[in-house]
Homo-oligomer: A and B are copies of this chain.
Amino acid sequence: MTTMLTIGQLASYAGVTVRTVRHYHVKGLLPEPERDHSGYRRYGAAAVVELVKIRTLAEAGVPLSRLPALLVADAEEFAAASLEIDRRLQEEIAERERCREHIAHLASGDSLALPPSVVAYLARMRELGFRERLVELERDSWILMAAKMPDAIVSLMEIKRAQIEDPSLRELYLDMGDLVDCAADDPRLPTLADRVVAFLEEVFVRYEDTEDAFPVDQRLFELLDQTFLESVPCAWRLLELLEERGFTGWTNIQRVPAVR
């Protein structure tokens, strides 16, 4: 039997390491062959056929624990299994294609942390001349928002996009951008509050009949307001000034009796 293969010959022909063949013996996938006079394993052609089959399946991503059943399966069972394996391979190929796109995005500096609708909204803000500082602030807010309420983002973005396309609201918002980093006692804040109120009065007249036009969760409003308060230092002061002028809240602003 001197023509029979040593473990090294078997392994290299199948393109695996000697350790891998021994691993398959331990796992019971490949039967232990006879030993020669010095205790070396000696393999025949059948072992090569089996090992190549094992490798073909293992390389296709089939867990070794599934192999014993597959190796004794009849043609019909095997055909069914191979269809499933092929589907998995196709899915993995599609995944890698998606990975390639993601990596390309990363390389061109995009962050991938935001849904496309928000990315488009932020791009439009930049286009309209909003200060970069404000855009970044919005970006961080929307990241948190998207993580907390993923389902609400798309419709929220529609509302926000409509808002910045409204000329008067946009102007107000642009000016607010200049006050994002200001202190609570900044003298421009009362003026801004006056302008917000003037704008709101007009809106409230215009849309008096469509009070519940946005069926948005109250908890979402609270979340958005909180984000505003946490990211803009002078936000609390602005809300205070608005309350003095008869309004409460921010995202879903409402008329109340004036505090002062």
Contacts and interface: CB of A to CB of B under 8 A. Distances in A.
Given A56-B112, A148-B5, A45 B106 contact: no
A113 B49 contact: yes
Nearest to A5: B147
Interface in A138-155: 139-141, 143-144, 146-148, 150
Interface residues of A, number: 58
A163 interface: no
A48 B150 CA distance: 14
A104 interface: yes
A198 interface: no
Contacts of A103: 56-57, 60, 82, 85-86, 89
Given A99-B59, A223-B3, A112 B45 contact: no
Contacts of A57: 103, 106
Contacts of A100: 60, 86, 89-90
Nearest to A11: B147
A144 B45 CA distance: 6
A143 B60 contact: no
Contacts of A3: 144, 148, 223, 226-227, 230
A92 interface: yes
A254 interface: no
A228 to B, nearest CB: 9
Nearest to A2: B226
A162 interface: no
B97 A93 contact: yes
A107 interface: yes
B52 A147 contact: no
B113 A48 contact: yes
> Across chains A and B, which 6 residue pairs bring their CB atoms closest together, nearest first?
A45-B140, A13-B147, A45-B143, A82-B107, A52-B113, A60-B99
21 contacts: A1-B230, A3-B144, A3-B227, A3-B230, A13-B147, A48-B144, A52-B112, A56-B99, A56-B112, A57-B103, A59-B95, A59-B99, A61-B99, A75-B109, A78-B107, A82-B107, A85-B103, A89-B99, A93-B93, A93-B96, A96-B96
